[in-house]
């Protein structure tokens, strides 16, 4: 059976609903949030898949966050490179003026 302590979904035998197995998110205890299935095996299967999907979603969100940070970092590098080029152009112009004044 799924370890409820480390998951976002849980299952239990719902005596009030004809002893069907209920699957629900641990953050939502309302009756409407439950999915009822016929057997414990179906409930365990559903819980495992929902928890795997939740982990995948969290990993995808983390990867998207990293990708966004990398994008911002690359934009900063590009901006710094452009500033560096402008600075170098200014230095070259100053050197040219010095040469002309000699």
**Residues 25, 95: Cα–Cα separation, whole Å:** 69
pLDDT (tens digit, 9 = 90+) per residue, 26-35? Answer: 988 887 889 9
Residue 9 pairs in a beta bridge with: 25
- Predicted TM-score (pTM) of the model is 0.61
Cα 76 → chain centroid:
23
Q: Are 24 and 33 in contact (CB under 8 A)?
A: yes
What burial class does residue 97 get, using C-beta atoms within 10 Å of its C-beta: 0-12 exposed, 13-18 middle, 19+ buried? exposed
Instruction: Tell me the two tokens of residue 17.
Output: 């609903």
State in Å, rounded, how far the first CA of the chain is from the last one.
87
Neighbours of 40 (CB within 10 A): 13
Query: For residue 92, what pLDDT is reported?
Result: 80
pLDDT band (50, 70, 90) for residue 3 = very low
More confident residue, 24 or 4: 24
Q: Are 20 and 14 in contact (CB under 8 A)?
A: yes
pLDDT band (50, 70, 90) for residue 14 = very high
């Amino acid at each position: 059976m799924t370890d409820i302590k480390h998951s976002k979904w849980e299952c239990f035998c719902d005596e009030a609903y004809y002893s069907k197995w209920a699957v629900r998110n641990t953050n939502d205890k309302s009756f409407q949030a439950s999915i009822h299935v016929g057997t414990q095996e179906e409930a365990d299967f559903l819980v495992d898949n929902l928890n795997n999907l939740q982990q995948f979603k969290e990993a995808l969100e983390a990867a998207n966050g990293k990708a966004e940070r990398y994008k911002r970092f690359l934009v900063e590098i590009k901006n710094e490179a452009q500033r560096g080029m402008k600075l170098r152009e200014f230095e070259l112009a100053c050197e040219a003026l010095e040469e002309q004044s000699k």
